Amino acid sequence: YVDGSESSGHFGRDTLTLTSSDVFGNFPFGCGTHQVGDFGRVAGLLGLGRNKLSLVSTTAKYHDSVFSYCLPSSSSTGFLTFGPDSGSESASFTRLLTNPQVATFYLLSLVAISVGGKPINMSSSEGMILDSGTAMTRLPYPVYAALKSAFHSHMSAYSSVPGTHGLDTCYDFSGHTSVLIPRVTFHFVGGTDLELQADAIMIILSISEVCLAFVPQAQTGILG
């Protein structure tokens, strides 16, 4: 996986039943006997990528390789549906990219990031891997540096503290009854904008240790 975790074991096939009308014979699946990485207490992994063995690919003739995945939040349960009519009427759309070097992943074209309503310095558009299994969004080093600088310029009212757990932009909010953080918006090709919620911008480790919830990396960025 993108974060370096892996699973190995046995490969098999069986009948997969999703609903009474969605029954798929000879469905391929893996039974992991050796895991590397942080899989927590999950019972399994559902493959939704472009790989030929994923659920999306093996059921393509029934659902046209179309699915809609809404992640749960504190106020909703989320959903996973398959088929061309699975989208929400209020959804916004942006074109998916294909990269032969990471062919199994879905990629989006990130054209700009704005902090506090102002775009940061990005030399060119960036392809971002869309990965629900990555906890925090990862940005290429130059993009992350620009985001970090712009964000920090809005946080002068708060004391900086040393970074931790790979997070290097952290603040102490002790003594503050309210906190103002700048809006962070991702702009994708086609005019689709994603304004991040506060808990996707900063992660609270403690009141004295609240960190920017992005990490830099050398490879293609990941929208987590």
CA distance 128 to 140: 10
User: Tens of pLDDT along 81-118?
Assistant: 888 775 666 777 888 888 888 888 889 999 999 999 99
Residue 13 lies in a domain: no
Q: Is pLDDT above 70 for 3?
A: no
220: tokens are 């293609």
| pLDDT, tens only, 25-45 | 999 999 988 888 777 777 788
DSSP assignment of 154-185, as one string?
T-TTSEEE--BTTB--EEE-TT-S------EE
Q: Are 110 and 96 in contact (CB under 8 A)?
A: no
Q: What is the span of the domain harbouring residue 214?
A: 92-224
- What's the confidence (pLDDT) of residue 87? 60
pTM over 0.85: no
What is the tens place of the pLDDT at every residue in 150-202?
999 999 999 999 988 889 999 999 999 999 999 999 999 888 999 998 988 99
Q: Tell me whether residue 116 is in a domain.
A: yes
Q: What's 29's DSSP letter?
A: E
CA atoms within 13 A on the CB side of 86: 15
Considering its fold, how many domains does the chain have in total? 1
Is residue 73 scored above 80 in pLDDT? Answer: no
The more confidently predicted of residues 147 and 19 is 147
Residue 46 domain-assigned?
A: no
pLDDT at 75: 77
Supply the CATH number for residue 167's domain.
Answer: 2.40.70.10
Which of 15-29, 36-50, 55-69, 173-187 is modeled with the greatest confidence? 173-187
CA distance 157 to 180: 9
Distance CA 215, CA 60 (A): 35
The reply to whether 213 falls in a domain is yes
Q: Quick check: is 62 in a domain? A: no
Q: What's the chain's average pLDDT?
A: 87
Please indicate, yes or no, if residue 189 is contained in any of the structural domains. yes
**pLDDT > 70 in the chain, percent:** 96
According to DSSP, residue 209 is labeled E
Nearest Cα neighbor of 139 from 124, 129, 150, 149 is 129
84 occurs within a structural domain: no
Residue where the block lists tokens 């290097």: 168
* Residue 222 domain flag: yes
Q: Tokens in use for 62?
A: 């029934």
